[in-house]
């Protein structure tokens, strides 16, 4: 029999909203953001736990990363293997993490952006710090465990991390509608900050920063806005300005070298290649003529980018130019967002440490409660065994007189003697008084005979004394928050002594770079642009010498100033501006540069209909003609704008600009359509409008016809065009009225 279908009627928008919120929260909490307690995202936590479970300890041989990734994916993280391997690689990269958690063996990528080798080639194991401070005590019930994705395994919901990893290693992640960006900090400083909070929970951000000076990037560099750090660490958001470290080396013959030995943290990866290109572009575009050569001499020993200068060059000015025009000075956006108590929260420095310290007390409490329970169980068994040694003859008699283990255990625990055969009535009476606990009875029944040797009994008594001492210690720790704090601080001091390192990043207040651009000497140049879109400027004298070739080989030839801007008008109704100073200036036969690269114009999406200098437009009128026959005149001063791209005219749907041109006094327009219709009108019949207006109809077009050409006829000008193997004299066309059909030719 077919099952009855159950149809649930619901509002679609409500269903979509609920589904999207569920998805967003899943990404936020279960993928992209770290937990404030251990500073780890789920993929990092699962990878480290899996390595711990596989026994890939710091003192054991390396294991293939493919094995680690496969095991993590199969047991705990049901996502792509690349996400797991990427997380593993980042945890092993010393240039990304303040304290790497994985010891990588093989090619794990480079600071210059080279990727790691495939996971089948690389190997890894846990670092010692990871084993001691991140994964220790997992067997002591210090954190909660939950089922994995298919409920076949159990995994920790958080790792018992004993140092504030979220600050030491920082974090970066993009969730849905939010992102986190926490810089790394110095290991030793952060531990001092935790100790300071434990001694004074009312500590403020300024007092905390006496211990945690600021970020400590693994790439070094210089933080130059020290005064902004208090605000950043109070609110959890802000911008840190970092500069690379630069040294000026004196060279032979007065030729100095600028040597970059540390880069901003944001330049890791492909940023170095971009920096080299930016410096090359500065030299090529004549922003500076003092740079002779640039070379990347970086190696395993560290970063070394060498910029060679001309003799007598001002090295300080070049450094300022690099800070201003390249990523040698960059901004690290801080947004200290993490999952706290199951929800995302932006926190300052002190709240993050507060969460960490509360977590440490929780871990310590659970650890010492577990240890206390085990010691109390041990004490119970030890007391039972010691007592058993005193009446061992009676116990042997009970065992020999019992038919089975159940009878013997009942006698030891409850004093039941009915089913047991005794040698004497006195033994029976004595046995009836025995009252061992279940646990003690089990231990007595499992005890081996060699335990009755005198030395073994002495060892048992000593062990019992040690157990009593441990119980007293654990009860003291659990009974006083001060005592527990001492234990936590002692452990932190041990970590600091073994793993702390010198600060790499310098923190200071530096002056804002003020770069005085050398004033350009204004002069006349000639803008040349060929039919392929390559443009350049040349000297007026060079143009005069090659006038004939220049006019025939180039689509646009415009005399302008080198300080001028060039307007590129397109069929899509846009005007793109480019600075004449950005164009290569040189010889007539130089190739030039594509205007696509120097402006927002894209030759693949639009084509040019008119090009003019901005100065040339200001005092003149421009006429716009479109495919659907719309016309208007616009004052050229409207195009004197600062934006690189602006809408030059408003277009109707499916319309485009056919022609733009200067509208001189007395000019006549000849509009030609695809179906051979021609209309000659006076330009004065076209109204002047704003650039944002649509225009008026210039010619009535039949269905599926469109304007293909617009000719500008000056008074008295004679112009012929070819039309189906015939010539048409435009000046002989009768002058008509605007918004009429015109005359058919051809």
φ and ψ of 666, to 5 deg: 85, 0
CA dist., res. 225 & res. 625, Å (int): 54
CA dist., res. 581 & res. 537, Å (int): 9
CA dist., res. 150 & res. 102, Å (int): 27
**Could you tell me how far CA 522 lies from the centroid of its own chain?**
44
- Residue 692 to residues 460, 574, 613, 624, 650: CA-CA distances in angstroms? 98, 11, 21, 12, 5
CB 709, CB 680: distance < 8 Å: no
Rounded to the nearest 10°, the torsion over CA 60, 61, 67, 68 is 40
Give, as one character, the DSSP assignment of residue 509: B
Maximum separation of any 2 CA atoms in the chain, in Å? 149
CB 109, CB 116: distance < 8 Å: yes
Six token digits for residue 579: 């600075």
Beta strands in 456-523 (DSSP E): 506-507
CA dist., res. 733 & res. 254, Å (int): 74
Beta strands in 106-219 (DSSP E): 123-126, 145-147, 154-156, 171-174, 179-182
Q: Which residues are catalytic?
A: 121
For residue 341, the tally of other CB atoms under 10 A from its CB is 8
Burial readout 37-70 (b: 16 or more C-beta within 10 A, e: otherwise): bbbbbbbbbbbbbbbbbbebbeeeeebbbbbbbe
CA dist., res. 469 & res. 487, Å (int): 16
CA–CA–CA angle 308, 311, 314 (5° rounding): 80
3-class DSSP assignment, residue 414: helix
CA dist., res. 481 & res. 477, Å (int): 7
Rounded to the nearest 10°, the torsion over CA 149, 151, 157, 161 is -100
Write down the residue that tokens 């649930």 correspond to: 8
CA dist., res. 304 & res. 449, Å (int): 72
Give, as one character, the DSSP assignment of residue 243: E
φ and ψ of 412, to 5 deg: -65, -35
CA dist., res. 260 & res. 246, Å (int): 5
Q: Using alpha carbons, select from 530, 542, 649 the residue that is nearest to residue 592.
A: 530
Burial readout 104-133 (b: 16 or more C-beta within 10 A, e: otherwise): bbbebbbbbeeebeebeebbbbbbebbbbb
CA–CA–CA angle 515, 518, 519 (5° rounding): 130
Beta strands in 501-570 (DSSP E): 506-507, 524-530, 534-539, 554-561, 565-570
Burial class (CB in 10 A: 0-12, 13-18, 19+), 450: exposed
Beta strand 222-223 with 506-507 is: parallel
CB 171, CB 337: distance < 8 Å: no
């Amino acid at each position: 029999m077919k099952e009855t279908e159950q149809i649930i009627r619901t509002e679609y928008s409500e269903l979509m909203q609920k589904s999207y919120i569920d998805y967003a929260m899943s990404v936020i909490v279960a993928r992209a953001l770290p937990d404030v307690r251990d500073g780890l995202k789920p993929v990092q936590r699962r990878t480290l736990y899996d390595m711990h479970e596989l026994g890939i300890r710091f003192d054991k041989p390396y294991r293939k990363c493919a094995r680690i990734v496969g095991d993590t994916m199969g047991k705990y993280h049901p996502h792509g293997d690349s996400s797991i391997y990427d997380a593993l690689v980042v945890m092993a990269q010393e240039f990304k993490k303040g304290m790497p958690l994985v010891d990588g063996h093989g090619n794990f990528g480079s600071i210059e952006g080279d990727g790691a080798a495939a996971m089948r080639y690389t190997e890894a194991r846990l670092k010692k710090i990871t084993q001691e401070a991140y994964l220790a005590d997992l067997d002591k019930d210090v954190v909660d465990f939950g089922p994995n994705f298919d409920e076949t395994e159990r995994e920790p919901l958080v790792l018992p991390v004993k140092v504030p990893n979220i600050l030491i290693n920082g974090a970066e992640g993009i969730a849905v509608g939010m992102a986190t960006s926490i810089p790394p900090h110095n290991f030793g400083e952060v531990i001092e900050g935790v100790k300071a909070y434990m001694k004074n929970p009312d500590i403020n951000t300024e007092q905390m920063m006496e211990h945690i000076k600021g970020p400590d990037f693994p790439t070094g560099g210089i933080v130059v806005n020290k005064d902004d750090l208090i605000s950043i660490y109070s609110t959890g958001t802000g911008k840190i300005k970092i500069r690379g470290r630069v040294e000026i080396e004196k060279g032979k013959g007065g030729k100095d070298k600028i040597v970059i030995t540390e880069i901003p943290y944001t330049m890791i990866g492909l940023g170095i290649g971009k920096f080299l290109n930016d410096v090359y572009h500065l030299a090529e575009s004549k922003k500076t003529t003092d740079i002779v050569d640039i070379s990347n001499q970086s190696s395993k020993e560290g970063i070394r980018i060498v910029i060679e200068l001309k003799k007598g060059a001002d090295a300080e000015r070049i450094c300022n130019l690099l800070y201003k025009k390249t990523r040698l000075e960059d901004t690290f956006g801080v947004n200290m967002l993490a999952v706290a108590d199951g929800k995302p929260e932006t926190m300052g420095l002190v709240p993050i440490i507060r969460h960490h310290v509360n977590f440490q007390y929780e871990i310590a409490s659970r650890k010492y409660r577990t240890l206390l329970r085990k010691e109390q169980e041990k004490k119970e068994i030890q007391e039972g065994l010691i007592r058993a040694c005193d009446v061992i003859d009676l116990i042997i008699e009970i065992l020999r007189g019992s038919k089975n283990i159940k009878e013997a255990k009942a006698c030891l625990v409850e004093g039941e003697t009915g089913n047991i055969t005794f040698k004497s009535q006195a033994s029976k009476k004595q046995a009836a008084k025995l009252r061992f606990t279940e646990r003690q009875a089990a231990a007595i029944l499992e005890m081996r005979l060699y335990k009755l040797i005198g030395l073994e009994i002495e060892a048992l008594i000593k062990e019992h004394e040690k157990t009593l001492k441990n119980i007293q210690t654990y009860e003291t720790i659990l009974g006083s928050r001060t005592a527990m704090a001492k234990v936590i601080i002692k452990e932190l001091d041990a970590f600091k002594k073994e793993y702390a390192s010198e600060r790499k990043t310098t923190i200071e207040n530096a002056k804002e770079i003020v770069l005085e651009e050398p004033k350009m000497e204004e002069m006349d140049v000639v803008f040349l642009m060929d039919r392929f879109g390559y443009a350049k400027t040349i000297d007026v004298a060079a143009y005069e010498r090659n006038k004939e070739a220049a006019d025939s080989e180039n689509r646009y030839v415009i005399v302008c100033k080198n300080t001028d801007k060039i307007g590129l008008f397109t069929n899509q109704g846009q005007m793109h501006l480019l600075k004449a100073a950005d164009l290569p200036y040189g010889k007539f036969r130089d190739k030039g540069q594509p205007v696509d690269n120097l402006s927002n114009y894209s030759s693949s999406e639009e084509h040019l209909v008119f090009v003019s200098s901005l100065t040339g437009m200001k005092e003149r009128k421009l006429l716009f003609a479109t495919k659907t026959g719309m016309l208007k005149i616009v004052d050229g001063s409207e195009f004197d704008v600062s934006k690189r791209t602006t809408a030059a005219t408003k277009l109707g749907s499916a319309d485009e600009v056919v022609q733009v041109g200067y509208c001189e006094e007395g000019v006549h327009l000849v509009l030609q359509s695809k179906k051979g219709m021609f209309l000659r009108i006076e330009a004065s019949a076209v109204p002047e409008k704003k650039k944002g207006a649509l225009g008026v109809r210039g010619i009535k077009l039949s269905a599926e016809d469109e304007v293909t050409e617009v000719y500008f006829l000056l008074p008295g000008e004679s112009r012929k065009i070819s039309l189906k193997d015939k010539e048409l004299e435009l000046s002989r066309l009768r002058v008509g009225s605007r918004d009429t059909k015109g005359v058919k030719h051809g």
